[in-house]
C-alpha cells in the first residue's frame, strides 16, 4: 500500500483537467497557448504539485484539495517551463521529453523560449488569483519566486552549465543539486506547509525532509540514467555522464550512490517521525525511491 500514490490517483485526472482548462481559458494568443499546452499536457509524474498537496493533506486533512489546485498548478507550470528551457539547443539540447519531441523540436527554439516564459509568468497569476487569503498568497509568491529565481533553480542551472566538462567534488554537486532540482522540491513542501499554516517547528522539520528528498530525487535520477542506458550502450555510462555532466554516480559509483540514497531517505523519514508524520501520506512519497 502506498498512500501517496493512492492520494495522487484520487486527484490526478481532476488536476490534469484543471491545468489544461485553465490555460485554454486564460491564454488567448493561439501559438502561445498551443506551445504551453504541448508540454503541460504531455504528462510528467506531477511529483512536485502532489508533494505540495500531500504535505497540506498530511497536516490539515480537512483542507479542500481542489481549492489548492492553483498553488500546485503554479509549481507544475514553473517546472514545465524549466524543462522546456533546459532542453533547448543552447542548454542540454535534448530531442525528447515526456515521451514526445521537445518543445523546440516540435515548434522552434524561439517559440519554445516564449512558451517557457509564458508558463513562468502565468504561475504567479495563479498564485494570486484563487480563494486563499492575500497574506497567504504573498507568502506563496515569495517562496516560489525565491526557489525558482537567481538564488534557486536558475542559480543551480547556471552552476551546472558553467561546470559541464569540469569535475566537481561531492559537496559541490550537492550544492548544485540543492538549487537546480532541490529548490523547487523544497518549495513544494514548504508551500503545502504554508497553506496549512503550521508553526516554525513543523516548518523546519518539513524543510529538512524536503532537502533530503530533493537530493535523493537527483541521485535516483542519476542512477536511472546509468541503469536505463547501460544495456543499450553496452557500458556503464549514461546520457548525462556521457555529456560531461556532474553526477553522483560519476563521483561515488553506483554502489555508494545507492547507499547515499538510502541514507537520505532514512534521514528524511526521521524528520517526519520527529513531528508525528510517520505514517502520513507525505511519508509514503519516500517509497518513490524503493
Ligand atoms: C532552465 C532555469 C532552468 C532550469 C532547469 C530542473 C532543471 C533546471 C533541469 C532539469 C534537468 C534534469 C533533467 C534534472 C534531473 C532531475 C529532474 C529535475 C528531472 C525532471 O523532473 P521529473 O522527473 O520530470 O519530475 P517529469 O517530466 O516527470 O515532470
* pLDDT at residue 44, rounded to an integer: 94
Q: Which atom of ligand 1 is nearest to the CA of 97?
A: 27
Q: Give yes or no for a contact between 46 and 76, defined as CB atoms under 8 angstroms apart.
A: yes
DSSP 8-state symbol, 129: S
* pLDDT at residue 233, rounded to an integer: 39
* pLDDT at residue 273, rounded to an integer: 98
H and E: helices and strands count for the chain: 13, 2
Write b or e for each residue in 82-121: b if 16 or more Cβ atoms lie within 10 A of its Cβ, otherwise e: bbbbbbbeeebebeebbeebbbbbbbeeebbbbbbbbbbe
* pLDDT at residue 2, rounded to an integer: 97
Q: Which residues of the chain have pLDDT under 70?
A: 229-238, 241
Q: Which atom of ligand 1 is nearest to the CA of 217?
A: 16
CB neighbours of residue 289 within 10 Å: 17
pTM assigned to the model = 0.95
ipTM, 2 dp: 0.94
> In the chain, what are the domain boundaries?
3-289
Centre of ligand 1 from the C-alpha of residue 185, in Å: 11
* pLDDT at residue 240, rounded to an integer: 75
* pLDDT at residue 236, rounded to an integer: 39
Centre of ligand 1 from the C-alpha of residue 126, in Å: 21
Provide CATH code, domain 3-289.
1.10.600.10
Residues at CB less than 6 angstroms from ligand 1: 44-45, 47, 79, 82, 85-86, 98, 153-154, 157, 180-181, 218, 221
* pLDDT at residue 246, rounded to an integer: 83
DSSP 8-state symbol, 102: -
Pairing of strands 100-101, 96-97: antiparallel
Amino acid at each position: 500500500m502506498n498512500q501517496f500514490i493512492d492520494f495522487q490517483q484520487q486527484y490526478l485526472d481532476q488536476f490534469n483537467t484543471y491545468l489544461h482548462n485553465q490555460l485554454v481559458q486564460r491564454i488567448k494568443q493561439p501559438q502561445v497557448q498551443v506551445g504551453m499546452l504541448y508540454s503541460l499536457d504531455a504528462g510528467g509524474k506531477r511529483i512536485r504539485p502532489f508533494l505540495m498537496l500531500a504535505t497540506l493533506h498530511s497536516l490539515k486533512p480537512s483542507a479542500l484539495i481542489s481549492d489548492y489546485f492553483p498553488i500546485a498548478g503554479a509549481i507544475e507550470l514553473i517546472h514545465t517551463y524549466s524543462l522546456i528551457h533546459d532542453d533547448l539547443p543552447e542548454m542540454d539540447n535534448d530531442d525528447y521529453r515526456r515521451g514526445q519531441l521537445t518543445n523546440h523540436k516540435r515548434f522552434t527554439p524561439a517559440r519554445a523560449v516564449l512558451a517557457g516564459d509564458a508558463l513562468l509568468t502565468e504561475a504567479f497569476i495563479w498564485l494570486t488569483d484563487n480563494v486563499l487569503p492575500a497574506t497567504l498568497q504573498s507568502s506563496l509568491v515569495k517562496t516560489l519566486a525565491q526557489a525558482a529565481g537567481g538564488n534557486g533553480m536558475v542559480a543551480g542551472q547556471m552552476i551546472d552549465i558553467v561546470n559541464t566538462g569540469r569535475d566537481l567534488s561531492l559537496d559541490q554537486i550537492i550544492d548544485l543539486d540543492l538549487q537546480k532540482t532541490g529548490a523547487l522540491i523544497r518549495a513544494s513542501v514548504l508551500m503545502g506547509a504554508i497553506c496549512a499554516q503550521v508553526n516554525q517547528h513543523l516548518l523546519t522539520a518539513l524543510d529538512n525532509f524536503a532537502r533530503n528528498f530533493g537530493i535523493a530525487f537527483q541521485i535516483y535520477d542519476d542512477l536511472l540514467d546509468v541503469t536505463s542506458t547501460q544495456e543499450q550502450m553496452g557500458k556503464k555510462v549514461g546520457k548525462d555522464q556521457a555529456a560531461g555532466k556532474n553526477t553522483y554516480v560519476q563521483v561515488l559509483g553506483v554502489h555508494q550512490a545507492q547507499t547515499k540514497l538510502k541514507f537520505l531517505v532514512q534521514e528524511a523519514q526521521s524528520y517526519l517521525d520527529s513531528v508525528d508524520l510517520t505514517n502520513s501520506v507525505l511519508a509514503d512519497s519516500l517509497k518513490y525511491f524503493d
